[in-house]
Structure 1
Amino acid sequence: MADRKPNKLINESSPYLLQHAYNPVNWYPWGDEALQLAKNQEKPILVSIGYAACHWCHVMERQSFENVKIAELMNQHFVCIKVDREERPDVDAIYMDAVQAMGLQGGWPLNVFLNLDAKPFYGGTYFSPKQWEQLLQNICLAYQNNKQELDSTAEQFAEHLKISELEKYSIPKGSESLNEEELKQLYKQLGKRFDREHGGLSPAPKFLMPSIYLFLLRYYNHGQDETALAQVKLTLRQMAYGGIYDQVGGGFSRYSVDAKWLVPHFEKMLYDNAQLITLYSEAYQVTKDPLYKEVVYETIKFVERELMSEEFGFYSSLDADSEGVEGKFYTYTRDELHRVLRDEEPLFSKYYSITASGNFEHGRNILHRQMSDEMFAQENVLEPEVLQAMVAAWKKTLMKIRAKRVRPALDDKILCSWNALMLKALADAFYVFNEQHFLDLALKNAVFIFEELREGDKLCHTYKNGKATIDGFLEDYALLISALIRLYEVTFNETWLLHARRFTNYVLTHFDDPNEPLFYFTDKNAEKLIARKKVLLDNVIPASNSVMAINLHLLGLYFDDERYQQKAAAMLQAVKPLLVKEPSHLSNWAILYYNLLTPTAEVSIVGKKVPEFREELSTFYLPNMILMGSDHKSTLPLLSDKVPLDGKTTIYVCYNKTCQLPVTTPAEALKQLQGWQQESKFPAL
């Protein structure tokens, strides 16, 4: 690139923006300079939005943004702005909403044309070079000849963007009651989309959507509905056996192109892997399936090895492509495998379903499994321990091959919200498996977040090259608060809970809408855009509002704060009619419904053996519970008056501010929890 001049993106820190820094397009980052330039030159604005691991973003760059002829057309007639959607989810949300309002399918790359006031009048996603060139010419002519009409269209879309999410989805006012029948109806609606052969939701492509299966685990726990648990087990097994899971190095790709979880889109995102660690950990509590434990340990090892910085922050993603070919880093030809595995290759190929012609492009194979180790060992007359040793050796051999390959590009920006998901995942894994290393990583990451992404009670969204930038979004606060609550439950260090309350109060002050229960996505002091949006629907990452509502419910119990609990209940009431109708898009809200349907257990441990008692309790699946512990005087309202009995570590089980008799063994506490569940029409544990 020595003979090519950089554009304005060269001074950015985002790897995605830097990928475009030597395009012949005169790209600008989002900001006042570009927006003012458009007004000065009276040119329409082109905003192109993507992210570093986006395959079709790379394709469009190679085909169109590196094309000198097309770049000249863009430069002559438009002010061109590049946006990393992971850095600026607020900008992305506005223009994604606009494109969908135009009746077009959303996705990335997202290309939107704006007038001089940054209001959108046309857009789309990926365009081939021929389509893109023609579109640029058509927009240019339309802007020259029909500018007034385009401004009028832009004004209409801008007005649409100001409609609240509750109005947008025409959510009627629902009844305030929560009941069993409504929960069953919600589950029945969700069940209509179950793929009962391969797991997940139909149709393909299949995204991972962890919050759906976290809800199903709770639904099973609530009513012992075996079909709910069966769907979770089927989905988690098929994902772990499929090509969407990296059978060699651990970790999951972003989604599966097909229904069988075989062919992934090979990009690996931190947020997916963090949430799947949480999901597989919880599922292990219910089933004790060793496959789930294996997935958790391997995925954490992958994240630590490939996505963790020296400062214990976690990077954002790995690209799908290497050497310009999608999946090349992760796939193998049978000949290649035979050269390195020799006599063991036939058994390896049987285990991982390898064929001579390949099951992917260019004769290459995606490793995937079709049966359990027990069944495979039996079918091939092997002792299970022998098979386990062989599989471990195969993985080491293939990792050595990978070490010599050209690696996929790393997006090494560190996002507060995604780090919070990983922080919670590590705390969840420690809670279930009591692996000290997981807690050590969690605490180091928490220290990193507090030192590098926080200024008092205010958070920053992104960190790169020793510098934190961009005001925190609701997503950053909500996910970090959730992680801190969990971190308290595994350490009983009240500092984390007090920080969670401080961040919550910041959210109530800076993100609240006095006219609706839901929070805005942006801080009231953040950059003013053409609309201030709210996130209502749960996507692959749960909606920041649903996460915040659960936080408020839990903190309301911890701090005996009625204001928090009332706010959580009001938020759920606002979305409940839509939740019952469309649960696949509001599955994290469904978890809050489950939490509020019956009283949350308040379990307090006091005395010298607090960690040991916590460890014993955590072997059981108790999802609707807050857990407290202290071996000294506590400031928490629910702990302040509780003392050990006769010097023995004591457990208090309470519901709705009414406590059972204190007990001195975890087994007795579990009996009390069982008894309450039976009285509340809960099944036994």
Structure 2
Amino acid sequence: MKKVLFFILVLTAALSCKKKSDEVSHKHTNDLIHETSPYLLQHAHNPVNWEAWHPEVLERAQKEDKLLLISIGYAACHWCHVMEKECFEDEQVAQVMNDNFINIKIDREERPDVDQIYMDAIQMISGQGGWPLNIVALPDGRPFWGATYVPKDNWIKSLEQLAELYKKDKPRVTQYASDLANGLHAINLVENEKDSELYSLEQLDASIHNWTQYFDTFLGGHKRAPKFMMPNNWDFLLHYATATNNPDIMDFVDTTLTRIAYGGVYDHVGGGFSRYAVDVKWHVPHFEKMLYDNGQLTSLYAKAYAVTKNDLYKDVVNETVAFVKEELLDQSGGFYSSLDADSLDENGKLEEGAYYVWTKEELTQLLGNDYEVFQEYYNINSYGHWEDENYVLIRDKSDKEIAEKFQIPVPELKAKINTDLTLLKKERNKRPRPRLDDKILTSWNGLMLKGLVDAYRYLGEEEYLDLALKNAAFIQREMIREDYSLYRNHKEGKSTINAFLDDYATVIDAYLSLYEATFDEKWLDLSKNLLDYSIKHFQDEESGMFFYTSDKDRSLIRRTIEIDDNVISSSNSMMAINLFKMHKIYPEETYGAASKQMLKNVQKDFDKRAQGFSNWLHLVLFENQNFYEIAVLGENYKSMGQELAKAYVPNSILVGSAKDGHLELLKNRTVPGKTLTYVCIEGACKLPVASAERALEQL
């Protein structure tokens, strides 16, 4: 069978469209009008008869023996908008689609379970993938063709050929789909490696050495473009550098975090991070701003500040939290998902990055006498130029270097730059804003909650704890059912889709971290109950791993087992770490053995591709080095706990109480009139000490 695949990487013409008001009457309306996802609602007035992914739609396809055309994207996706404009808003295209297919639109952020399977399929077919992800599948959902962006004429031609092929040679198409489905199952298998020895520190050192050949030691990150921030990579390497006292790795982490913070991927005017840079120097971003990046990077920079006391990292944390609070916080306490890459430019055209870029003329007019220093600081020159007349702000020198050049004190320079940025932000606020994806996703809120807890823990700002507690209460109120099952999504007071493993993994982690920061056992109890629910409904008894979907959900082509750490850590690596930490608090449970088995199952891949398993590698350090349970008891347990928490000690768990509690670590340890800290390993404790400083000396 001839497979037709079209992949266009770059468009030469910018998308042009006029903003429509809510009052405009629409010529077409399809079933997506009943959905809450902003991405699906963007397509609700296409002439294509789109439907959402629902069981009854799939059942109808099989009854009618009609091919499925499944198109997957997300609200902040630039190329999704391009294909919508060129194809899905076109009536000629719509007629071909409506006549020959049952057309399903999917928000990949709401339904990552479906997206994972079809992304694997297109990568098996073509060797590459991306969004929009367009799949043609048999009526039962088995795929046999896929493409990303396709221009209108090629799209029509491809769909007509595929529909004709299915009519004339159904057995051949079915056989190809069957073979592909078998391949999708095969690449998802994880075997139970019961007899394996745990990965050793020597093996870990060797795998890190192999990884270093990809390090860009000058500009940070990996030697490639585009450059993604990959928070779990640098988070692990920060842990590894401090745990093994490796100054070279620490220097690389420091270089990477500094270059990212200097780069255009960081919004110097409004705070927060874009998704990735298209170049090697972190300069020109793909301008969409995602909650999951900002949550993880808040955690990472807070930890890096705890290690280095670098004020740059502290500023990044403060400004990122300020951005999330201003742009993504719902009044309910939940956080929205993203801001679009595109916004309207001064001519009313939808352009990527229009909201964020500056011309030299604008800056000289706005800044006046301050322009000379500002242009040096943010490279309004060939280094900072993007395209046309536009510049993306990027640093490449420290405050000290700039201050020396202009012979002014560093505090004066910083005050001047901050005044300039405030002025630019005020001016930027007059521009049309990027579109907001205001759905609330559980897993991304879990990541942001963890970020806020870490920001509070390492910077000590009470405001961050207040934000964290409001978000934690929102998740408890709106996303957790009575049986401790979770919802995936929430919008306008409604939670609908059943949660996936990453939703559980991130919230378990965030609640456990919130317990460490507050010693409020409500959060620990919630974390444990969610963990126990996950074990019951997600765990594969044969391998010991966790499926991405619950046993209560309708079966897809396969139940995915996600193990690779990508921009977001894999749900299984997060669960394995959750199990390991919970074992330290609840040693009577089987959590520890389960975590160790999960690590054994995946460690064979660490040697050649450590960066793809970086979150798993924390467990290698945990298992091979001392891991400390730190228990604080006495009247001043909260203040003592805060002092302990400020230190970066990733190989530890913190518990505390005013008096003896039901947790094993808190039993029979209270001494009247004293606040004492016990440093323990597997429940065996050193002599208690009366100060945080002395406790940290015992580690």
Aligned 8 A contact 2:334 2:471 in 1:
yes
Matched, 1:428 2:449: no
362, 372, 383: which one pairs with 2:388? 362
- The DSSP-based 3-state class of the residue aligned with 1:633 is coil
Displacement of 1:478: 0.6
Aligned position for 1:553: 580
Matched, 1:499 2:520: no
| 1:114-154 C-alpha deviation (Å, 9 max, x unpaired) | 11111111112111223212211221221121111101111
Aligned 8 A contact 2:334 2:475 in 1:
yes
What one-letter code is carried by the residue in structure 1 that aligns with 2:279? Answer: D
CA distance in 1 between partners of 2:382 and 2:593 (Å): 62
Aligned position for 1:6: 29
Matched, 1:585 2:585: no
What one-letter code is carried by the residue in structure 2 that aligns with 1:115? Answer: L
CA distance in 2 between partners of 1:131 and 1:202 (Å): 35
Within 5 A, what are the aligned runs for 1:385-404?
Answer: 385-404=411-430
Aligned 8 A contact 1:458 1:506 in 2:
yes
CA distance in 1 between partners of 2:212 and 2:589 (Å): 35
Aligned position for 1:450: 476
CA distance in 2 between partners of 1:33 and 1:60 (Å): 27
What one-letter code is carried by the residue in structure 1 that aligns with 2:669? Answer: K
CA distance in 1 between partners of 2:194 and 2:593 (Å): 17
CA distance in 1 between partners of 2:282 and 2:186 (Å): 38
Aligned position for 2:61: 38
358, 378, 386: which one pairs with 1:352? 378
What one-letter code is carried by the residue in structure 2 that aligns with 1:525? Answer: K
Aligned 8 A contact 1:118 1:530 in 2:
yes
- TM normalised by structure 2 equals 0.94
Displacement of 1:289: 0.4
Aligned position for 2:10: none
Aligned position for 1:325: 351
Within 5 A, what are the aligned runs for 1:194-343?
Answer: 194-323=215-344, 324-343=350-369
Displacement of 1:640: 1.4
Flag the 1:61–1:636 CA change in 2: closer, same or farther, 3 A: same
Aligned 8 A contact 2:384 2:393 in 1:
no
Within 5 A, what are the aligned runs for 1:621-660?
Answer: 621-644=648-671, 647-660=673-686
Aligned position for 2:98: 75
Displacement of 1:611: 2.3
What one-letter code is carried by the residue in structure 1 that aligns with 2:607? Answer: V
Aligned position for 1:162: 185
More moved, 296-305 vs 330-339: 330-339
Displacement of 1:104: 3.0
Aligned 8 A contact 1:555 1:561 in 2:
no
Matched, 1:188 2:209: yes
Aligned position for 2:557: 530
Aligned position for 2:592: 565
CA distance in 2 between partners of 1:607 and 1:657 (Å): 19
Aligned 8 A contact 1:357 1:363 in 2:
no
Aligned position for 1:680: none
Displacement of 1:40: 3.8
More moved, 93-102 vs 266-275: 93-102
What one-letter code is carried by the residue in structure 2 that aligns with 1:479? Answer: T
CA distance in 2 between partners of 1:642 and 1:76 (Å): 74
| 1:441-464 C-alpha deviation (Å, 9 max, x unpaired) | 000000001111111211000000
Within 5 A, what are the aligned runs for 1:87-102?
Answer: 87-102=110-125
More moved, 297-306 vs 157-166: 157-166
Flag the 1:616–1:538 CA change in 2: closer, same or farther, 3 A: same
CA distance in 2 between partners of 1:225 and 1:45 (Å): 53
Flag the 1:173–1:138 CA change in 2: closer, same or farther, 3 A: farther
Matched, 1:413 2:439: yes
Flag the 1:181–1:448 CA change in 2: closer, same or farther, 3 A: same
380, 383, 389: which one pairs with 2:409? 383
CA distance in 2 between partners of 1:621 and 1:93 (Å): 35
Displacement of 1:356: 8.5
Displacement of 1:75: 1.2
Aligned position for 1:681: none
CA distance in 2 between partners of 1:19 and 1:362 (Å): 30
What one-letter code is carried by the residue in structure 2 that aligns with 1:252? Answer: F
CA distance in 1 between partners of 2:284 and 2:192 (Å): 37
CA distance in 2 between partners of 1:3 and 1:593 (Å): 57
More moved, 616-625 vs 402-411: 616-625
CA distance in 1 between partners of 2:565 and 2:404 (Å): 42
Aligned 8 A contact 1:121 1:157 in 2:
yes
| 1:264-296 C-alpha deviation (Å, 9 max, x unpaired) | 000000000000000001111111100000000
What one-letter code is carried by the residue in structure 2 that aligns with 1:544? Answer: S
- The DSSP-based 3-state class of the residue aligned with 2:665 is coil
Aligned position for 2:164: 141
What one-letter code is carried by the residue in structure 2 that aligns with 1:233? Answer: D
More moved, 447-456 vs 578-587: 578-587
CA distance in 1 between partners of 2:536 and 2:506 (Å): 17
CA distance in 1 between partners of 2:261 and 2:94 (Å): 44
CA distance in 2 between partners of 1:333 and 1:561 (Å): 63
What one-letter code is carried by the residue in structure 1 that aligns with 2:268? Answer: Q
Aligned 8 A contact 1:427 1:439 in 2:
yes
398, 401, 417: which one pairs with 1:372? 398
CA distance in 1 between partners of 2:84 and 2:588 (Å): 52
Flag the 1:311–1:305 CA change in 2: closer, same or farther, 3 A: same
CA RMSD of aligned residues (A): 1.5
Aligned length: 670
Aligned position for 1:676: none
Runs of 4+ in 1 over 3 A off after TM superposition: 170-175, 355-358
- TM normalised by structure 1 equals 0.96
| 1:325-361 C-alpha deviation (Å, 9 max, x unpaired) | 0000000101111121112122211111113897122
| 1:304-325 C-alpha deviation (Å, 9 max, x unpaired) | 0000001110000000000210
Aligned position for 1:151: 174
Aligned position for 1:619: 646
625, 628, 645: which one pairs with 1:598? 625
Displacement of 1:172: 7.5
- The DSSP-based 3-state class of the residue aligned with 2:391 is coil
What one-letter code is carried by the residue in structure 2 that aligns with 1:417? Answer: S
Aligned 8 A contact 2:192 2:543 in 1:
no
CA distance in 2 between partners of 1:318 and 1:276 (Å): 17
Flag the 1:515–1:69 CA change in 2: closer, same or farther, 3 A: same
- The DSSP-based 3-state class of the residue aligned with 1:470 is coil
What one-letter code is carried by the residue in structure 1 that aligns with 2:481? Answer: E
| 1:560-580 C-alpha deviation (Å, 9 max, x unpaired) | 235100000000000011123
CA distance in 2 between partners of 1:280 and 1:17 (Å): 34
Structure 1: gaps (5+ residues): 674-685
Aligned 8 A contact 2:284 2:386 in 1:
yes
Q: What is the percentage of aligned positions where both structures have the same residue?
A: 44
Aligned 8 A contact 1:45 1:114 in 2:
yes
| 1:404-459 C-alpha deviation (Å, 9 max, x unpaired) | 11000000000010001111110111110111000000000000011111112110
Aligned position for 1:667: 693
Aligned 8 A contact 1:318 1:409 in 2:
yes
Structure 2: gaps (5+ residues): 1-23, 345-349
CA distance in 1 between partners of 2:325 and 2:511 (Å): 20
Displacement of 1:551: 0.3
